[in-house]
Amino acid sequence: MRGRGAVRTAAALTTAMGFVNLLSGVTPSEPARVQQISSWSPLFLRHGGHLAAALAGFALLLLAVNLARRKRAAWLLTEAVLVLSVASHVVKGLDFEEAAVATALAVFLFSQRHHFQARSDPPSVRQGLWVLLGALTFTLLYGVTGFYLLDHHFSVNFGFWAALRQTVVMFTQLYDPGLQPVTHFGRWFANSIYGVSAASGGLALFLIVRPVLLRRPATASERERALRIVEAHGCSSLARLALMEDKSFHFTPGGSVVPFVVKNRVALSLGDPIGPPQDAAAAIAGFVQFCARNDWRAVFYQTFPDRLEDYRAAGLEALCIGHEAIVDLKTFSLEGHSMKRLRGAVSRLQRAGARAVVVEPPLDDALLVELREVSDEWLATMRGTEKRFSLGWFDEDYLRPDPVMTVISPAGGIRAFANVVTEYRRNELTVDLMRYRRDVESGTMDFLFIELFRWARERGYDSFNLGLSALALVGGHPDSPAVERALGFIFEHVNRFYSFKGVHDFKDKFGPRWEPRYLIHPGAASLPAVALALILADSGTSVFWPARPERTRRPASPERAFEEEPSDSSDPA
């Protein structure tokens, strides 16, 4: 049986066996069979068998979910629970039919053991085992002492060994029909033992099947290795961002690197693998396998259309999420009616005495101080904080080695800036941070980009990448998948929280060509988890708490410069 089919079959059969156990545990055994075993299976053992079958059924339902994730720990625990199920079905009433089904499932799972190789987080597994041991130790001391000293609250007088046995039974079975509290305090004390058992068992199971956690950032040597690969093979607007400090790296034997972050059990790769073209298919398959071993979902964000077949061959699906705007610098011109607004912005700013100046690297400290003032003012205006993952953030080490285009007021102060980012092997430039003063003159960002295009063309660059226009031109074809049509509807009709059309219109006025970009994912069922992971990665947070205490407000995207920059509706002079 092939891998995916075997895993799904195992999870489905385990779920069915869980329901069988639950029904068998709460259903009375046949009287004739009970009479046959009454001589060697006393009443308390038969009651315990019913309870063990029910608890095993509940455990199998929980483990089936983790079997679907190919968890090795879940496979081991499922085999152990099935063995317990076989014994419980026999001792509670000679239920050979259920025992035979449990045995057959155990044999099937054993034959498919090579499909369950996803690791759990080793420190968490150890922590889970310590939780169980600690809970058992505490409960034994707590229960034995309580039953021994408080036996007048129960209908039984407990000696030491009776108290020990009673505590073990309650901790492992969560129920004992023979225990009869006679006071409210006795019932509270018994329930407290059940509570400790249930809580510690649930926490231990969570820790034992927990995905592998990234506990350390990439090392200096890993970053140096990634830098060499990016410099040799990088050819996208995301290549520079692949080296940012929030990224970890997966290296392939063929010389490629996959930069990624892990959020919500999703490993998000920024763009396609970077490396030799002939290694792309192997790099994709290798990263998918690497993620499967660590119990992560492999996702690639903002990929080119060139490798879609390689992604499909690796068992992934493609979803168009927008288009990048690429300006051809060789043909770009301000002539013509469509460029009237841009001509007006440039003319007006020039008449007002504004200047566009590119500052070559390395940037000095005084300039960085002024740029930070502009950036902080922009963030305050946007009422947000920096984003990460697919965008850079204000960091002196990040900005210092690259050119910065600044707009200078007649008085000499910086009114706006954008850092210029190379795409390495591709003869193309892009920008990342785009920041401006609160009271910036209308049309300033138009002026900045026009001057930046001129500067880049003079230096021999072929094109300029204005970045992704999310959801733009998505889902318009009749054969588009339903998810893409839904994204297209959001682009056209949902602009309350983010002006997708405003961003697209700003970029479109420069007359770019539009190139599709894709989200590569494991399947439609994974999209909610992937969307949450993208939100967490962009905001720099984990599922449960922020990675940085100051990130508490709505993150501000640099693309909002396109949306929020004061409009210019004037005609050219």
pLDDT in tens, 295-314: 899 999 999 999 999 999 99
pLDDT at 179 over 70: no
In the chain, where the domains are located: 1-118, 126-213
The tens digit of pLDDT for each residue in 440-499 reads: 898 999 999 999 999 999 999 999 999 999 988 898 888 888 898 888 888 877 766 567
Helices in 352-415 by DSSP H: which ranges?
365-382, 396-399
User: Is residue 73 within a helix (H) or strand (E), and if so which, with residue range?
Assistant: helix 72-93
User: Is residue 503 within a helix (H) or strand (E), and if so which, with residue range?
Assistant: helix 500-508
- Distance between start and end Cα atoms, the chain: 74
Q: How far apart are CA 383 and CA 556, in angstroms?
A: 7
Report the pLDDT averaged over residues 220-248.
93
pLDDT at 52 over 70: no
Helix-, strand-, coil-residue percentages of the chain, each rounded to 5: 55, 15, 30
Which residues contact residue 111 at a Cβ distance below 8 angstroms, ignoring those fewer than 6 apart? none
Q: How far apart are CA 46 and CA 43, in angstroms?
A: 5
With cut-offs at 50, 70 and 90, classify the pLDDT of residue 292: confident
Number of neighbouring beta carbons within 10 Å of residue 203: 15
- Whether 259 contacts 249, CB under 8 Å: yes
The tens digit of pLDDT for each residue in 489-541 reads: 888 777 665 678 888 998 999 999 999 999 999 999 999 999 999 999 988 66
pLDDT: is 313 or 75 the higher one?
Answer: 313
Residue percentage of the chain with pLDDT more than 90: 44
Token readout for 43 is 């009443």
Token readout for 364 is 């000095």
C-alpha pair distances (Å), 442 with each of 394, 421, 437, 565, 566: 24, 25, 11, 7, 5
The tens digit of pLDDT for each residue in 76-95 reads: 889 988 988 887 777 666 67
Q: Are strands 513-521 and 428-436 parallel, antiparallel or unpaired?
A: unpaired
Full-model pTM: 0.75
- Same fold for the pair 1-118 and 126-213: no
Architecture of domain 1-118: Up-down Bundle (1.20)
Closest CA to 390 of 315, 296, 301: 301
**Tokens 């130790």 appear where?**
137
Q: In one letter, which amino acid is 183? A: T
- Which of 172-176, 517-521, 558-562 holds the top average pLDDT? 517-521
Q: How far apart are CA 363 and CA 394, in angstroms?
A: 13
Helices in 114-159 by DSSP H: which ranges?
122-149
CATH of domain 126-213: 1.10.287
C-alpha pair distances (Å), 199 with each of 58, 194, 205, 339: 15, 9, 10, 67
**Tokens 């006795």 appear where?**
186
For residue 486, the model assigns a pLDDT of 87
Residue 516's DSSP bridge partners are: 323
Which residues contact residue 234 at a Cβ distance below 8 angstroms, ignoring those fewer than 6 apart? 240, 242, 274, 423, 424, 425
**Tokens 């309870």 appear where?**
51
Which residues contact residue 171 at a Cβ distance below 8 angstroms, ignoring those fewer than 6 apart? 135, 136, 139, 140, 143, 193, 196, 197
